[in-house]
Amino acid sequence: MGKHGYSLRLDGLERGINDRARARAIVIHGAEYVNLRTAEAQGRLGRSLGCPAVRPEIARPLIDAVKGGGLLFAYSPDAGYLASSTYLN
Q: In terms of C-beta distances under 8 Å and separation of at least 24 residues, what long-range contacts does 69-77 make, across chains too? A: 72/10, 72/28
Q: pLDDT digits over 25-81, tens only?
A: 999 999 988 989 988 998 887 667 789 999 999 999 999 999 988 888 887 788 988
Name beta bridge partners: 5. 2
Q: What confidence score (pLDDT) does residue 21 get?
A: 93
